[in-house]
Amino acid sequence: MYGGGYVFCEPDVHGQPDDPERLAEFEARIDRGEKIEPQDWMPYEYRRQLIRLIEQHAHSEIMGALPEGAWITRAPGFKRKLALIAKVQDEVGHAQLLYSAAETLGKSRADMVNDLLSGKSKYSNVFNYPAKTWADVTVIGFLIDAAAIVNQVANSKGSYGPYCRALERICYEESFHLKQGYDAFVALATGTKRQREMLQDAINRWYRPIIHFFGPPDNESVHSKQLMRWKVKMASNDEMRNQFLDAYVPKVLELGLTFPDPELRKDPQTGRWHYGDPDWAEFYRVINGDGPCNAERLSARRLAEENGRWIRQAIMNPQQKFTIPFA
């Protein structure tokens, strides 16, 4: 998981203007489909927006570990327990990969983590909703991972080399999560009456955050034109949302489950999905810190950071030298 619904920053009017010749050369490289590498020249704004994007993605992975991670100790049976630990572990591994990719642009992991904890950096809204039952874990594992894959596959074709390479591996692992998520989802959908009710309830609660996942509609997204030109943003929010609905709504309906949106339907003429008003004001409230679990998630992360500080300090001890290899 878990890209999606990125919020890019306002263009920095105080930034240094870029050398027009180098900018033209840079844009020509992107047009030719070349990848930009850390040592290459890049526009100020490109670097800034990429740091923001990759950092948000990394934060989403580490924060995304929390709602599902809380169910590891309760996962029913060996198969689900092992799969869930492996999955959440993968997410933490993705955070590690992504922080490293962002570091190539000049911001340290510690600075990124501090900005997360202070609330300056954002992460995906979906993780600010509660995972109330085991069924929520299956909905996250199936539908939210599926949504994240749509987003990440698009991003993996972007222009920044380190990010693309991290995403290739991430997408590979995500597609496995999706299989596990779907398997657990189907087990409930085809299970007892109570299991089905539990699943339907989870879908009802997660529907809106999933619609929000890809971010506001295109007509509300600001300044994405230049970012698309530079292949930082690879597909429009509405395009990705439509692609997701097209692939996954039928899979849910065919299990006899429903979505809590009477307006949800595909227009046979245009092939576009129509959905009821998902209350975008809620999206902005949550991204700005006022969601059902923002405070809880951040305090869990903060506690983990604080509890781990003594270890980080001890292993950074520059006096320590180990010459004998451990392995």
Partner 1 sequence: MNPIVELITKLGDDAFILGHRHSEWTGLGPILEEDIAMSSMAQDKIGHALALYTILHEQFGGPDPDTIGFLRNEKEFRCCHLVEYPNGEYDFTLVRHFLFDHAELLRYQLLRQSTFAPLARFAAKVMGELKYHVLHADSLMQRLALGNEESHARLQASLTEAFPLAAGIFEKSPYEDQLIAEGVFAGEALLQQQWLKEIEQRVQAWDLHLPEAREPLAGLGGRYGYHTPYLQPLLDELTSVFRSEENASW
Residues of the shown chain interacting with partner 1 in the complex, contacts defined by CB under 8 A? 62, 65-66, 69, 72-78, 80-82, 85-86, 88-89, 91-93, 95-96, 99, 134, 184, 187-188, 191-192, 194-195, 300, 303-304, 307-315, 317, 320, 322, 326-327
The type of residue at 250 is P
Q: How far is the CB of 128 from partner 1 (least distance, A)?
A: 15
Largest CA distance in the chain: 70
Give the three-state DSSP class for 80: helix
How far apart are CB 243 and partner 1 at their closest, in Å? 29
Residue 217 or 256: which CB sits closer to partner 1? Answer: 256
3-state secondary structure of 175: helix
Least Å distance, CB 52 to partner 1, is: 20
Task: Tell me which residue of 134, 274, 155 sits closest to 217, measured CA to CA.
Answer: 274
Q: How far is the CB of 66 from partner 1 (least distance, A)?
A: 6
Nearer to partner 1 among residue 249 and residue 255 (C-beta): 255
Tell me whether residue 269 or residue 317 sits nearer to partner 1 (CB atom): 317
Q: Count CB neighbours of 81 within 10 A.
A: 15
Report whether 45 contacts 13 (CB < 8 A). Answer: no
Minimum separation from the CB atom of position 38 to partner 1 (A): 21
Residue 36, SS3 per DSSP: strand
* Cβ partners under 8 Å of residue 158, min gap 6: 164, 231, 232, 234
Nearer to partner 1, 63 or 227 (CB): 63
Smaller CB distance to partner 1: residue 281 or 314?
A: 314
DSSP calls for 251-307 = HHHTTT---S-TT-EE-TTT--EE-----HHHHHHHHTT-SSSHHHHHHHHHHHHHH
Q: Chain centroid to CA 66: how far? A: 13
For partner 1, give the closer residue by CB, 11 or 308: 308
**Hey, what are 189's tokens?**
């959908």
Using the minimum distance from each CB to partner 1, give the nearer residue, 77 or 262: 77
- Of 111, 131, 181, 93, residue with least CA distance to 300: 131
Handedness of CA 90, 91, 97, 100 (dihedral sign): negative
How far is 266 from 249, CA to CA, in rounded Å? 10
CB of 73 to partner 1, least distance (A): 5
How near is the Cβ of 98 to partner 1 at its closest, in Å? 10
Q: Which is nearer to partner 1, 220 or 306 (CB)?
A: 306
- In the block, tokens 């060996």 appear at 78
Report the nearest approach of partner 1 to the CB of residue 134 (Å): 5
Give CA–CA dist 15/11, Å, rounded: 9
